Amino acid sequence: MSYLMPAATMPAHLLLLTAAMGYLLGSIPFGILVTRALGLGDLRQVGSGNIGATNVLRTGNKAAAAATLLLDGAKGAAAVLIARLWGAEDAAQLAGLSAVLGHLFPVWLGFRGGKGVATVLGVLLALAWPAGIAVCATWAAAAALFRISSLAALVAVTLAPAWLLVFGHPAVALGLVLAALVVWRHAPNIARLRAGTEPRIGAKG
């Protein structure tokens, strides 16, 4: 269980099925679906144009933002839990990684997706709930302290591998990969943080 990818004991077709299932679940653009269902317009034309909960909040609808956050997290958790029923624990790691990749690069949106924070949190909660709760608590504390969503996300995900290590879960390597993906997707936010122009939580811009 110490590897990033599933052990070779699983047949290749099951590995492909696990990866495909995780990717397809992760690629569901709940932010767009929720905002359209509530008549809030095209989310990609709002604020940063991102499909995640932080940008949904810029529509002014807190319920829509909360629903997006929960659903984006749930799809990551669902991918892990379904894969765990199919095969070894390492298959759950593959499904979790695939779900995050699906959110970042959804085929339905021309492979232009979100930044993956909520989906990563869902994956971690399903893989190792004590570490997942610790990461969520880290995000909440950083958000309360700095009032900047992107900074809170960066603090939380970069500490995720450490929390996995603290709680003795073997997915530390996966945590490093997920953290790297989220940090990479936040490159524009990091530039704005350095410039002091990153909007605070709830800001319209």
pLDDT classification of 154: cutoffs 50, 70, 90: very high
Count of residues for the chain? 205
What pLDDT, in 10s, does the model give residues 98-131? 999 999 999 999 899 999 999 999 999 999 999 9
One-letter amino acid at 65 equals A
Number of C-beta neighbours around residue 105 at 10 A? 17
What pLDDT, in 10s, does the model give residues 1-25? 443 444 446 677 788 899 999 999 9
Alpha-carbon span 85 to 10, nearest angstrom: 13
